[in-house]
Amino acid sequence: MPFLHRGLFLTLMAMVAATQAAVITEPTRVYTVGYTLNDLEDPPAFFVETISDSSILQLTEVQVGLHLVGATVGGGFAGEIFVSLTKDLGVSAVLLNRVGVTSTDAVGFSYDGWDVVFRDAAAFGDIHEAELPLGVLSGEWEPDGRLDGTTGARPGMLQLFVGQAGNGEWSLNVADLDLGGMMRLESWSLTLTGSTVPEARGLGGVGVGVLACGWRWWVSRRRTRKVVG
């Protein structure tokens, strides 16, 4: 292969690799709130943050931090709380839906709240089933995901945001669904991971197509020279 053609080949290969590998995790965005929920705050309170400086054009993962605890130490009741995350008034991921509630337990867990990070496939597993005798639950957990807290179906996971852009209006929605304990939302956060290249797979396909055309052109020229010679 002549040097020029070999250089073109290597350049196109590098372009294809670059379009497929441009995935970043942006620094965690932390939102301090300090809001005490009303006892029986239903409909939810909405905490809206607009992101306009994200470089991500296609999300591959979303992580959500939540610091929501009793308004007084020991004054919260985990089984009363519903929390979801919505983007651009579209789909919603369910982070909490009355943890501990089942078809045979209408009350759920009574611990004092959370200082956790939610991510799909987290090591500690499903937060709906994470019982704590007292205190505040911590660690990295899978979101509840349940539209109905009494069933095992979990359609509302964070993967619903995959493929969307990082920029937009993100809303954390928090409800207290029963009388009793009172909770305070101290803060929440977003950690976004994704591609900075639009239609990464499609751009890779374009690069491969150009490469294939160039290769066919070069082979055709070689055959023509042989025939002429």
If phi > 0 it is left, if psi is from -120 to 50 it is alpha, else beta; for residue 119 that is beta
Same domain, 13 and 124: no
Same domain, 61 and 163: yes
Same domain, 153 and 58: yes
Same domain, 71 and 141: yes
> Does residue 155 surpass a pLDDT of 80?
yes
User: How many independent structural domains does the chain possess?
Assistant: 2
What letter represents residue 8's amino acid? Answer: L
Same domain, 9 and 87: no
Same domain, 113 and 101: yes
The Cα–Cα gap between 161 and 121 comes to 15
Name the pLDDT band for 202 (thresholds 50, 70, 90): very low
> Does residue 204 surpass a pLDDT of 50?
no
Same domain, 127 and 205: no
148 three-state secondary structure = coil
96 three-state secondary structure = strand
Same domain, 79 and 159: yes
What pLDDT score does 198 carry?
A: 74
The Cα–Cα gap between 172 and 49 comes to 8
Q: Are 128 and 150 in contact (CB under 8 A)?
A: no
Per residue in 74-124, pLDDT (tens digit) is 999 999 999 999 999 999 999 999 999 999 999 999 999 999 999 999 999
Per residue in 122-136, pLDDT (tens digit) is 999 999 999 999 999
Same domain, 18 and 68: no
Q: What does the pLDDT average to over 209-224? A: 50
> Of the candidates 91, 93, 161, 89, which has an alpha carbon nearest to the alpha carbon of residue 127?
93
Domain span at 4: 1-22+198-229
Say which CATH number the domain at 169 has.
Answer: 2.60.120.260
The Cα–Cα gap between 173 and 150 comes to 20
Same domain, 192 and 207: no
Q: What does the pLDDT average to over 164-175? A: 98
Same domain, 123 and 34: yes
What pLDDT score does 221 carry?
A: 54
The least confident of 5-19, 22-36, 137-151 is 5-19
Same domain, 122 and 38: yes
Name the pLDDT band for 21 (thresholds 50, 70, 90): low
Q: Backbone phi, then psi, for 101, in 5-degree steps?
A: -70, 135
Q: What tokens does 123 get? A: 């090591």
Q: Are 90 and 154 in contact (CB under 8 A)?
A: no
Name the pLDDT band for 220 (thresholds 50, 70, 90): low
Q: What is the pTM of this model?
A: 0.80
